[in-house]
Structure 1
């Protein structure tokens, strides 16, 4: 791995500590120590789960493109899309239900859709670049 990939991987691994901290918040929510309504409870749980899964998926795409020596910009474009989605999508879950007893998600739910687009683009870019690199190898 080159230095940029190694540093990025290290930073991504360190972000898992923030997800762990979010897990403590979600634990307070599900045990009733943090007052929330059903909408907030479900969105907070979904946001936390998506953060964890997408960060690991982003790390996997980064390592796969590095190991396959995918040419730039494709070697970093896909993983960056997935890693940005790992921030944007959970933010949509959390930020769209802030407040006291919201009845439905707020406007920031648009971040969910933006994250979904980034995730799809990152995964397609990673998948295609791996297939092309393998076929040309």
Structure 2
């Protein structure tokens, strides 16, 4: 693994600790220790789940990243698209329902759309890059 890829993998592994603390928060919400309405509970769960899945997916993508023979800007999107989505999606899920008994998500829910765009760009870059490079044949 390239040194820069290894550093990113280490950061992503440490970021999983935030998912762990999010799980502890969800336990407190479920136990009634943190007041939350049904909207908040569902958005908190979605944010937590997406954070975990996208961080693990980010780690898996790094296995391909070092084998891509693509322009630098494509390589950058391939390496950063999914990790950026792993930050934006849960941020949008949690921050858009903050407050006391919100009835609907606030404008920060736009972060979820930005996350989807980042996720799509990252997956396209690594997927097409891997096919074009023949990374599966290495």
The TM-score by the shorter chain falls in which range? over 0.9
Q: Distance in 2 between matches of 1:85 and 1:35?
A: 28
Q: Where does residue 64 of structure 1 map in the other structure? A: 64
Q: Where does residue 97 of structure 1 map in the other structure? A: 97
Q: Where does residue 55 of structure 1 map in the other structure? A: 55
Q: Is the 8 A contact 2:77 2:121 kept in 1?
A: no
- Is the partner of 1:99 in helix, strand or coil? coil
For the pair 1:108 / 2:112, whether they are aligned, the reply is no
For the pair 1:35 / 2:35, whether they are aligned, the reply is yes
Q: Between Structure 1 and Structure 2, how many residues are aligned?
A: 136
Return the offset for 1:109: 0.4
Return the offset for 1:76: 3.6
1:61-94, Cα deviation, whole Å (9 max, x unpaired) = 122222x244452334212011000000110000
Q: TM-score, normalised by structure 2?
A: 0.92
Unaligned runs of 5+ in 2: none
- Is the partner of 2:134 in helix, strand or coil? helix
Unaligned runs of 5+ in 1: none
Q: Is the 8 A contact 1:62 1:76 kept in 2?
A: no
